[in-house]
Amino acid sequence: MQKYILCLIIMMFPSHIFGQGLSFSVVFYPQVTWMNSDSKRIERDGANFGFGGGLAMDHYFTENYAFSTGLFILGTGGNLRFLDSLDFQFGGERDTLPAGSTVNYKLQYLCIPFSLKLKSNEIGYFRFFTHLGLNTHINLKATGDVNYNDISGEDIRDEIQFFMMSYFIGGGLEYSLGGNTALIGGIYFTSGIWDVTANPNYRAHISSLTLRLGVKF
């Protein structure tokens, strides 16, 4: 599957962007993630701490404006408390969770963003930037813990959509180390646009607050 995803990414970018004005960054980001539901019978019950990282690519079509994309692995999730009993699928087998159960969703995604980055002129060794756009997410792994019947680390892929989208907005600064090399730091807010769940009985979305750190080359 990985080779097909890589081929898709390569085909998305015409050859003329691989030239002058192109920069790459290796990034790592710890984050706090949580889930919300549109149902009044489902409550948010705490947050998860996750990590992400990967390779970012910026193509500057002017000195201060860039189209930005990349390839990232993202760990996310959250906790939902169900006030009513719920049919839930674990590893292909269906179970009924009693009222008051909390499910801890632990999800991993391949993330490909499409975004715009706006950067200031250099001030001393610093440049400030704003970054906003859309993320596409392909689910790689989904497990769950439930405070019922000692359920821990069970496969819940049947409860999760294979594909979802989110929007993000963030900002930060670059600190020049000389030449094209710079340290990057920023804070981002991300929120899901599509329902992350596949269960017809409820809808839920993931949000996160992220500290993004990296090195630009």
CA 189, CA 184: separation in Å to the nearest integer? 17
Pairwise CA distance, residues 184 & 161, whole Å: 32
Is pLDDT at 17 greater than 80 in this prediction? no
Helix (H, G, I), strand (E, B) or coil at 130: strand
Residue 6 above 90 pLDDT? no
CB 66 within 8 A of CB 116: yes
To the question of domain 22-216 being in CATH 3.90.550.10, the answer is no
pLDDT of residue 199: 86
Residues across the chain:
217
The SS3 call for residue 203 is: coil
Q: Give residue limits of the domains in the chain.
A: 22-216
Residues 129-169: tens digit of each pLDDT: 999 999 999 999 999 999 988 889 999 999 999 999 999 99
